[in-house]
Amino acid sequence: MKTTTPSQVISYTLLVLCSIVLLFPLWVTLSTSLVPSSDAMRPPANLFPLNFYPQNYEDVFRQVPIARFLFNSFVQSGIVTLGQILTASLAAYAFAFIPFKGRNLVFFIFLATLMIPWEVTIIPNYQTIRQLRWTDTFQGLTAPFLATAFGTFLLRQSFMTIPRELYDAAVMDGAGHVRYLSTVVLPLSRPALGTLGVYSFVNSWNQFFWPLLVTNEKTMRTVQIGIAMLQSEESTQWNIVMAGAVLALLPTFILLLVGQKQLIRGLTAGALKG
Amino acid sequence: MQATQSQASPLSLMDARTRAQRRRLREIRQFLLALLFLIPSLIVFVVFVFYPVAKSIYLSAYLTDPLGRPSVFVGTELYTELLKDKYFLNSVWVSFKLALLVVPALLVVALGLAVLANRQLRGIGVFRLIFASTISISTAIASTIFLLMFSAQTGTLNYLLGLVGIKAVPWLLDPGSAPAAVAITTIWSSIGFNFIVLLSGMQGIPEELYESAALDGAHGWTLFRHITIPLLSPTLFFVSVVSTLGVLQAFTQIYILTKGGPSDSTYSLVYSIYEEAFLRFQFGSASAQAMVLFVVMLALTVLQFQVLERRVHYE
């Protein structure tokens, strides 16, 4: 076994120092969520939870409809994720397996949606949702995000690697397009589907502007809006707010831990496209 | 293949015509089939992307009544007025100032982290995960955390500054420091993404280049300066454009930290669009502002493609 070299010692020291600095805001969040309110705004008391007070996590459920916020976020992100996977796999199938006239044009239409920033569409979209009387509904929260050009391109890329012979064999067995898609193409594209799923769930969970616009009732707020509103109300109890913040960031944080590869692949692919 | 050949053998005019007809029918059938698969996406795009863009252009040519309905056609007047409106010009300036505060610092930090994490060391995966971790945290939560830390009297940051003998900074309460506070929040929450992209760019640089340069006696800084930076420059350029576009679209951190204040020092372009449209219901002029933002972002994107393409051609 080799002994550690001085250059390795330097590397580890720098790595640890950078980690401490980067993680510091998260440490403040966690430790503030574990102290009584008297300590919450009093550094260093809120940096080291010596007066350990996990009661905050019970209180946040009692004082704030956080369970409802989390539920709303789960439903919203679940609908968007499943919806995007469904519409994107259908569209990607057409691009990858059905030769048709005007494919380039349709491809360009998909591409164009990536060039348009949300600021340009948000006012008319808000008006559309209001006209449909979809404010404070899950339809309103999710409808504009049920299709994704990025996801379509990602899946198309993966579909194209499936050997043509499989298609011929499936047709010989009398399978139609829908059955071929669901029994052969999708199972073979699990890695790409995972990437798209994790990526769209995280993006959807972390949305702010749109849910802010289309929800007014407290019971329809997503957890992001719920926490942000919590801190703007008078007499902010930071220990409670931070307990809420921990609960809000936990799902995507866990998703990062278990789906690290998928998320990173999605982000880098999305970046190269966007 | 074989089937078409056997059909093609008796070459009469009739056959040619029916063949053409059959091909045409097949084309139409294929088209309708493809459409069936594409229609769910296309409906969403038409309703929530293309129609809104057209409507935004339309709205930007009208004054809006107090209910937010277009009332008087004014052509391009809203645009020319924007160019004279000092609040709008201020918001453009604020957005560019934020980009200047965020992008260079973000690039340096993310590049440094990527260099550190690119070494083959035991347990490097843990550090990579830590450096990437902010991608999973929303801007809303990040901003809420920093709101607590930036608090002037009781915040953690001023407490830490006090420990090393630096006077407390008024952070969000002063027009001089508020943009910096917004920038710090933005940098922290963008580090994860930029780190990931730069690290994967670095991992794409062939190891042999470093080895042969090391044989020539180059090491450390020289390697970084003459191999890493030039080969990483497309990625660096790419992340700087993406980050600039991101900062130009910044909204959440401003909404949570400062609401555009103090004294409009953080009143960014997108925050201005938000207030104009959804607090004052001036959909016309808000749409005009959004179109201006669109043009700026489009110009940046086109520039990015041109520069990247030139690199591909000349290298």
With beta carbons under 8 A apart, name residues in chain A contacting B113.
18
B236 near B107, Cβ under 8 Å?
Answer: yes
Domain boundaries, chain B: 2-59, 83-314
Structure tokens at A43: 């550094």
Alpha-carbon gap, residue B58 to B96, rounded angstroms: 27
The predicted structure's pLDDT at residue A3: 66
Structure tokens at B34: 């493809």
Number of helices (H) and strands (E) in chain A: give both, helices first.
16, 0
With beta carbons under 8 A apart, name residues in chain A contacting B297.
117
Q: Do A100 and B33 touch (CB under 8 A)?
A: yes
What 3-state DSSP class applies to A100? Answer: coil
Q: Do A119 and B293 touch (CB under 8 A)?
A: yes
Beta bridge partners of B62: B73
Beta bridge partners of A235: none
Query: Tell me: the pLDDT tens digits for B268-277?
Result: 999 999 999 9
Percentage of residues in chain B having pLDDT higher than 90: 55
Query: How confident is the prediction for chain B on average, in pLDDT?
Result: 88
Listed by number, the residues of chain A in 96-125 with a beta carbon closer than 8 Å to a beta carbon of chain B are 98-103, 106, 109-110, 113, 115-125
Query: Nearest CB to B113: which of A18, A231, A232?
Result: A18
Which of B36, B38, B59 is the best residue to mutate to test the A interface, defined by the most A CB atoms within 10 Å of its own CB? B38
Using the Cβ of A229 and the Cβ atoms of chain B, whether some distance falls under 8 Å is answered with no
- List the one residue out of B314, B290, B233 whose CA is nearest residue B59: B290
- Cα separations (Å) of A166 from A41, A169, A173, A181? 63, 5, 11, 11
CA dihedral B241, B242, B244, B247 (to 10 degrees): 180
Higher pLDDT, A250 or B77: A250
- Cα separations (Å) of A138 from A71, A143, A144, A248, B32? 11, 8, 11, 19, 31
Domains contained in chain A, CATH given = 6-56 (no CATH), 64-273 (1.10.3720.10)
What 3-state DSSP class applies to B70? Answer: strand
* Residue-by-residue pLDDT tens, chain A, 274 positions: 556 788 889 999 999 999 999 999 999 999 999 999 888 888 888 888 888 889 999 999 998 899 999 999 999 999 999 999 999 999 999 999 998 988 999 999 999 998 899 989 999 999 999 999 999 999 999 999 999 999 999 999 999 999 888 888 887 887 788 889 998 999 999 989 998 999 899 999 999 999 999 999 989 999 999 998 887 665 678 999 999 999 999 999 999 888 887 777 777 766 543 3
Q: Do B135 and A46 touch (CB under 8 A)?
A: no
Total length of chain B: 315
Q: Do B137 and A274 touch (CB under 8 A)?
A: no
Among A72-76, B196-200, B218-222, the range of highest mean pLDDT: A72-76
Range with the lowest mean pLDDT among A9-18, A219-228, B226-235, B282-291? B226-235
Q: Do A123 and B45 touch (CB under 8 A)?
A: no
Q: Do A256 and B134 touch (CB under 8 A)?
A: no
With beta carbons under 8 A apart, name residues in chain A contacting B191.
22
What 3-state DSSP class applies to B106? Answer: helix
Alpha-carbon gap, residue A226 to A72, rounded angstroms: 10
Total length of chain A: 274
Mean pLDDT of B113-119: 92
Question: Residue A96 burial by CB count (10 A; 0-12/13-18/19+): exposed, middle or buried?
Answer: middle
With beta carbons under 8 A apart, name residues in chain B contacting A257.
129
> Domain B83-314 belongs to what architecture?
Orthogonal Bundle (1.10)
Which of B119, B144, B237 is the best residue to mutate to test the A interface, defined by the most A CB atoms within 10 Å of its own CB? B144
The predicted structure's pLDDT at residue A165: 86
Closest CA–CA distance from residue A4 to any residue of chain B (Å): 10
Closest CA–CA distance from residue B26 to any residue of chain A (Å): 10
Q: Annotate A19-44 with b (16+ C-beta within 10 A) or e (fewer).
A: beebebbbebbebbbbbbbebbbebe
Alpha-carbon gap, residue A28 to A35, rounded angstroms: 11
- List the one residue out of A2, A79, A69, A15 whose CA is nearest residue A241: A69
